[in-house]
Amino acid sequence: MNVPLRKKCRDILVLAIPAMIESLLQTVVGFVDTLFVARLGLTEVTAVGVANTLLAVYIAVFMAIGIGTSSLIAKHIGAGDLETAREAACRSTRIALIAGFIFGLVTLILAEPLLKLMGADGEVLRQAALYFRIVGTPSFVISLMLHLGNVLRASGNTVSPMMISFWMNLIHIVLDYLLIFGIFSFSGFGVCGAAIATVLTRVIGSALLIVAMKKSPVHFSFKRHTSSEHSTLTREIIRLSIPATGERLVMRLGQVVYLGLIVHMGTEIYAANAIAENIETFAYLPGLGLSVAATVLVGKQLGAKKYALAYSYGRLTVLISVAIMSITGVLLFFLTPFMAFWFTGQVHTASMITLAMRIDAFFMPPLAVGLVLAGALQGAGDTKTPLYSTAIGMWGIRVLFIYLLGVKGGMGIAGIWIAQGIDLTVKALFLYYCFRKLFKRIKSAQNE
């Protein structure tokens, strides 16, 4: 079937734009949340930061379960098998909830030992444990919210998660302010208030996602009868989710190690790098949205056995991503000097941020390729290749070159961002090779 280029572009952007907006909303609310807590004091912002570092590991695992499920749901929808898609959604949600309950129990029992491993002590430990227990114990709410969002996106509905994210973020900002600082005679709860606001927002978000799921083509009930035809689905979900979980954990662990190396370069470099990473977050958004589109469209076309069309959608999504993120790179190059002074009044620190972002601007195209092809491969059911690319890139390139260029070579922040750029370039080339190889193998199997 010959699908016109205009229709392909429309299909991609209809899925990608809401996902981009959703990611932008989450990024903005993260900034606001940090700003509110920072007004309480350094101890409080450090405590919340340490706790959120651990919670990021939880979220990585919950997101990985969704990645494994997205491929299955998209493929079965593409094949016109809605019954199996619903069964996959049902079983994966059960797995996500079980994972959430396990992490919640771990948080309740082991909050202090885990936070001590992160280096927290004294008042920071006390505040972090309070925040961590309130937010982390109901981890099943986090897992449910993230998972249902993934299921809806996998079904091709990226608008509902975007709108729900908008209302969640609005509610979160209002609750955050009221519960942290109070209003009128109510003085607020400080860090405890920030935690309660986060939990309440996630509960509301989960409820809204459940309502959206009921209107979805992959709606399900936990009371549904389990068919023997679907007996292998749980194993398939776990098989796809384990490498995705490994990839997220490898990335997180690598970040801990290379941030430790950056600490040794000095406080000013560490602060400049942290600010640069915050600015770069906005540059990631188009690639993240297009990655979602690639996962859904490649998975659906493979499910429909339209292999050439699946490959075409993957390649076109990459090209669109490269075009958009190249423009983002140009904006980064010229606008960063102004953006840097929003974060710091220190001229030298601002110049380091500018240098980092101008180096990063040249690596926007490989970043675009890597993000989209990882999504496309996951849509094709290959969750191992993104794991390998992250492991090789993070440990064989980024950590090593940050040490060689930044620490030993004395290049400071330039060494850090050149190392990241080398990692992104090698990863993009590796993923492109694997993507082509996968579809050549599919084509050969067709011809036999």
Tens of pLDDT along 62-116?
888 887 788 889 889 988 889 889 988 998 999 999 999 999 999 999 999 988 8
Q: What percent of the chain has pLDDT over 70?
A: 96
Q: Is residue 249 part of a domain?
A: no
Could you list the residue range(s) of the whole structural domain that residue 385 is in?
Answer: 265-448
Query: How far apart are alpha carbons 63 and 142 in whole angstroms?
Result: 10
Average pLDDT in the 240-260 region? 82
| Token pair for 371 | 């993000």
Q: Are residues 218 and 316 located together in one domain of the fold?
A: no
Flag whether pLDDT at 264 surpasses 90: no
Q: Is residue 248 part of a domain?
A: no
Q: Is 179 exposed, middle or buried (0-12, 13-18, 19+ CB in 10 A)?
A: buried
Q: Are residues 45 and 147 located together in one domain of the fold?
A: yes
Q: Are residues 230 and 291 located together in one domain of the fold?
A: no
Name the DSSP class of 183.
B
Largest CA distance in the chain: 77
pLDDT for 111-138, tens place per residue? 999 888 877 788 888 998 999 999 999 9
Q: Is residue 309 part of a domain?
A: yes
Q: Is residue 250 part of a domain?
A: no
3-state secondary structure of 265: coil
pLDDT of residue 116: 87
Q: Are residues 164 and 303 located together in one domain of the fold?
A: no
Domain boundary among 185, 211, 242: 242
Contact 428, 366 (CB under 8 A): yes
Q: Are residues 435 and 290 located together in one domain of the fold?
A: yes
Q: Are residues 28 and 106 located together in one domain of the fold?
A: yes
**CA nearest neighbour of 278 among 338, 321, 340:** 340
DSSP letters spanning 332-393 = HHHHHHHHHHHH---HHHHHHHHHHHHHHHTTHHHHHHHHHHHHHHHHTT--HHHHHHHHII
Confidence class for position 281, pLDDT limits 50, 70, 90: confident
Q: Residue 242 is which amino acid?
A: I
pLDDT of residue 65: 84
How many structural domains compose the chain?
2
pLDDT of residue 152: 93
Q: Are residues 136 and 6 located together in one domain of the fold?
A: yes
* Helices marked H in 158-306: 159-181, 191-214, 233-263, 267-303
Q: Are residues 140 and 181 located together in one domain of the fold?
A: yes
pLDDT of residue 298: 93
Q: Is residue 255 part of a domain?
A: no
Contact 307, 25 (CB under 8 A): no
Flag whether pLDDT at 139 surpasses 80: yes
Count the Cβ atoms, other than its own, within 10 Å of residue 315: 19
Query: How far apart are alpha carbons 56 and 437 in whole angstroms?
Result: 33
pLDDT for 159-189, tens place per residue? 999 999 999 989 999 999 999 998 888 888 8
Contact 37, 45 (CB under 8 A): yes
Q: Are residues 216 and 305 located together in one domain of the fold?
A: no
Q: Is 97 exposed, middle or buried (0-12, 13-18, 19+ CB in 10 A)?
A: middle
Mean pLDDT of the chain: 87
Contact 190, 44 (CB under 8 A): yes
pLDDT higher for 226 or 439? 439
Q: Are residues 43 and 170 located together in one domain of the fold?
A: yes
* Helices marked H in 182-232: 191-214
Q: Is residue 31 part of a domain?
A: yes
Sign of the C-alpha dihedral, residues 333, 263, 244, 139?
negative
Q: Are residues 80 and 42 located together in one domain of the fold?
A: yes
Q: Are residues 226 and 327 located together in one domain of the fold?
A: no
**CA nearest neighbour of 198 among 232, 175, 226:** 175
Flag whether pLDDT at 30 surpasses 70: no
Q: Is residue 252 part of a domain?
A: no
Confidence class for position 1, pLDDT limits 50, 70, 90: low
Contact 179, 193 (CB under 8 A): yes
Bridge-partner residues for 186, per DSSP? 183
Q: Is residue 275 part of a domain?
A: yes
